[in-house]
Amino acid sequence: MMGLRDWLSPRSAHRPTPAAPGNMLPAEVVAVVQAASIRNANRPDAEGSPIIYVTAPALGRFRWVDLDKAADRISDAWPDLTPAQCFRAAQLIEAAVGDAAIRQMQRKEPRRSWVWDW
């Protein structure tokens, strides 16, 4: 049973669930995901969302849209993986995409103070 602290703790919402023994990813899939390169386009798409490209050795180059599309692509590359394993690998790619987005935001030049612009 969850207590009040568990509900109010920000860490409880993002606590990773341990993988079941049958859902462990093969080492080659993890290596491909870790070797993936993430690139942000300089322009947003028609809806204003950033365009993000993922390039991985066995997966090729594709535009990141969502977890389901990435899981489908992983399933096509490794047909012997279960849907849970494909989804877990897609989550790893999603984490890499999020890390790349954070690095992109941190690279931007800091805004000058208005005090010096008058």
Task: State how far the Cα of 48 lies from the Cα of 71, in Å rounded to an integer.
Answer: 24
The tokens of 18 are what?
A: 């341990």
Please indicate, yes or no, if residue 74 is contained in any of the structural domains: yes
- Has residue 81 been placed in a domain? yes
Q: Structurally, how many domains does the chain consist of? A: 1
Q: Is the pTM of this model over 0.75?
A: no
Each residue of 36-86: pLDDT tens digit? 999 988 888 888 888 899 999 989 999 998 999 999 999 999 999 999 999
Helix 67-77 vs helix 83-107: crossing angle, to nearest 10: 120
Backbone angle region of 33, left / alpha / beta, with phi > 0 → left and psi within -120 to 50 → alpha: alpha
102 domain residue, yes or no: yes
Helix count (H) and strand count (E) of the chain?
A: 5, 3
